[in-house]
Chain A
């Protein structure tokens, strides 16, 4: 057993060493696989293609599971997201098979490049899906519940004016303002994120930046509004 492991380790070291000698100037991807260039060998491109597609297949599979499980995405957005993620998953599986079967470096290089330029799994597909899920969760649940809570608090203030202090009134006003601000920020946000395509990302790498910032800002608003509500509730009890 020890001998088998030793031989396997030696073979692995030889393989890695051979690749290092073949392409000493290559950069390395996050998982340690050398990043090929247009001048890399067929085997180097195939190795990088296998790693890149495997990584995306795993991430897409996880993402699809999360999307299927979430109750926060609207039905329409869930359908859109699942269409994109499942389409990308099929494409990655197809590319993985094709790159492995390619017989010349030029074709393999073209296929390898398409992993990124045509699909943008990490730059577009997954981030836009998560942004849409976050935005829908705020739009469809958090914001309506905060509006409802604020309305009920207003009614409680009217019923018990003796319990209302300027501080509580200020907290309610802040809760309402933060909730309104979050509603404004998330209006159309999921649609905006889901409209981004690999092509639009290729033209502008910051194309999702504003949407990402908007969902973060809206989330900060809804968290602050919920804190206001909690403070008021504690004072009313």
Chain B
């Protein structure tokens, strides 16, 4: 039963795969991931704003993430220094 159902799906799946390959949709996805792919065939008509907006959003979020990472690293180091200062003051034997 399962085998017959699966065989009925093979034809449409192959057709869909061919459609994706021929229209360049597969290249669009690959190009976004690697950053070196050829421009998608349909992008010229879509206009620059529409085609670059997701990439801009992604780089903006990446920049926010990098800022926060740097801040967190600095916070951690500042915390270590503050703790070391407290420890020096409390472990000393200053009369």
B30 CB contacts on chain A under 8 angstroms: none
Main secondary structure on B side of the interface with A = helix
A130 CB contacts on chain B under 8 angstroms: 81-82, 84-85, 88
| Interface-side segment among B2-10, B15-23, B40-48, B70-78 | B70-78
How many angstroms from the CA of A122 to the CA of B94 in the assembled complex?
Answer: 7
A52 contacts B71, CB within 8 Å? Answer: no
Partner of B75, one of A66, A116, A212, A219: A219
A35 CB contacts on chain B under 8 angstroms: 93
Main secondary structure on A side of the interface with B = helix
How many angstroms from the CA of A195 to the CA of B18 in the assembled complex?
Answer: 74
A133 contacts B71, CB within 8 Å? Answer: no
Partner of A222, one of B61, B64, B65, B75: B75
B74 contacts A141, CB within 8 Å? Answer: yes
B77 contacts A219, CB within 8 Å? Answer: no
Count how many chain A residues have C-beta atoms less than 8 Å from C-beta atoms of the other chain: 53
In whole Å, how far is A20's beta carbon from the nearest beta carbon of chain B? 19
Chain A 117-128 interface mask (CB, 8 Å, partner B; 1/0): 000111100111
A30 contacts B91, CB within 8 Å? Answer: yes
A70 contacts B77, CB within 8 Å? Answer: yes
Chain B 48-70 interface mask (CB, 8 Å, partner A; 1/0): 00000000010011011101101
A226 at the interface (CB under 8 A from B): yes
With A127-B89, A135-B78, A219-B78 given, name 7 new contacts (CB 8 A): A29-B93, A123-B94, A131-B85, A146-B67, A156-B61, A212-B82, A223-B75
